[in-house]
Amino acid sequence: MAQRTGTGRGTAARAARAGAGVLAGAATAAAGALWLAAALPLSAGLAWPRTRPAARAWLAAGTARLISWERLRLESLLGCTVDPAPRTGRGLAYLGLRAAVTALAAPLLASVLGVAGLLLGGSLFEAATGTVTTVSLALPWVSVSTPSITMGLAVSLLLLLAAAAAAAGLAALDRVAARRLLGPSTADLLALRVAELTATRAGVLRAIDAERRRIERDLHDGVQQRVVALAMLLARARRAGDTERAAHLLEQAHRESQRVAAELREVAWKVYPTALDELGLHAALRGVAERSALPVALHYAVERDLAPEVETAVYFVAREAITNAAKHARAHRVEVAVRTTAAGVELSVRDDGVGGADAGGGGLVGLARRVAALDGRLEVSSPAGGPTLITAHLPAPARQEG
């Protein structure tokens, strides 16, 4: 019962806001009509090159001011947020459409509300003065006799409901017109998408170059140094004068070769973990948690197989975030959660460190590029004092078989 009451109140509040939006729209439509009338002589200045810049500036400034009022009304009263598209011509078209619709609808709505008000007022007057009469309504198939107060209240209620429905229709039409004329056009959206893809491609290339430099650094500073040490040990063993010393050097060389193999496995694991293909994302993340220098609590709730590129992105974002927490955050514990959502898959990595992570830093920028390459987004919350929360939202198409 309480839930129904809350739902009813919410519906009434939305209806009241829509009605207020329509009433406010009548005022802004009148202002728009006045501006259109003033814009006609200004538009004549567009025909001459000398006056064209000034006329264009005046038209753009006045239209932008009115459109800003319209956006405020749409967002606050009609719950319609439109991405800005600064086109004076489309703004004038929107103002003209609203002025025309308001000129047609306002008299009708005013008439309906006026009649409803007269009937309601008359019914209340009859009830107060005791002058209620009987109204007979003869239809072809039935005759109805009813007190005039009942008839007045019923008809006024029907008229008010019709006015409310008309106001809701006008509000819906207003939202559609705003999205079509005030928002970006199909060409604008296409250009924006092309720009996003271009930036994403450039970001991916930079991330690939950075990864290559990291691999080269790991090989140079780690594996290469150990291979050189191994070669030196083998050379010393070959030049050794006695068998015991040669055996001792060969034993050292054997241990060094094991370290080289371990370094190579570590580099290969950083490039791409075979567990991701062989055992799946869950097992690969468990491996990251086990290798971490910090305690990692893993919560995995993925209910379907993910595409390989999505699994790879989730894996590397989780691994990099855990590594950053261990190296820079002075954290004591990390929590990793992976779950499917209606939009795809969500990964969150939270640590209890000191916070202050820079979202524009190299590591996080690389993660953001990796996520953006799949049309996802990366969110970083790291206030001073902590905690740090990194959340990746990724679309998750199902794994293609074969």
For the stretch 224-259, pLDDT in tens is 788 888 788 788 888 877 788 888 888 888 888 888
Residue 138 token pair: 């003869």
Running DSSP on this structure, what letter comes out for residue 45?
A: G
Residue 218 token pair: 């790991």
Q: Prior bond to 387 cis, omega within 30? A: yes
Residue 217 to residue 270: CA distance in whole angstroms: 13
Per cent of the chain over pLDDT 70 is 81
Residue 347 has pLDDT above 90, yes or no: yes
The single-letter code of the amino acid at 178 is A
**CA-to-CA separations, 144 to 59, 137, 153, 159, in angstroms, rounded:** 60, 5, 16, 20
**CA-to-CA separations, 93 to 32, 44, 99, 289, in angstroms, rounded:** 10, 17, 10, 58
Q: State which of 46-55, 116-125, 256-265, 359-368 shows the largest mean pLDDT.
A: 116-125
Q: Provide the 3-class DSSP secondary structure of residue 373.
A: coil
CB 320 within 8 A of CB 367: yes
The predicted structure's pLDDT at residue 299: 92
CB 259 within 8 A of CB 226: yes
**Domain residue spans in the chain?**
2-184, 187-271, 280-394
Per cent of the chain over pLDDT 90 is 5
Running DSSP on this structure, what letter comes out for residue 398?
A: B
Least confident of 26-30, 242-246, 330-334, 392-396: 242-246
Residue 85 to residue 38: CA distance in whole angstroms: 23
The predicted structure's pLDDT at residue 2: 47
Q: What does the pLDDT look like over 29-75, one tens digit per residue?
A: 888 888 888 777 777 766 777 777 777 787 788 888 888 888 888 88
Beta-carbon neighbour count of residue 295 at 10 Å? Answer: 11
The predicted structure's pLDDT at residue 342: 83
Which homologous superfamily does the CATH classification assign to the domain defined by 280-394?
Histidine kinase-like ATPase, C-terminal domain (3.30.565.10)
Strand partners for 380: 390
pTM score, whole prediction: 0.50
| Half-sphere exposure for 215 (CA within 13 Å, toward CB) | 14
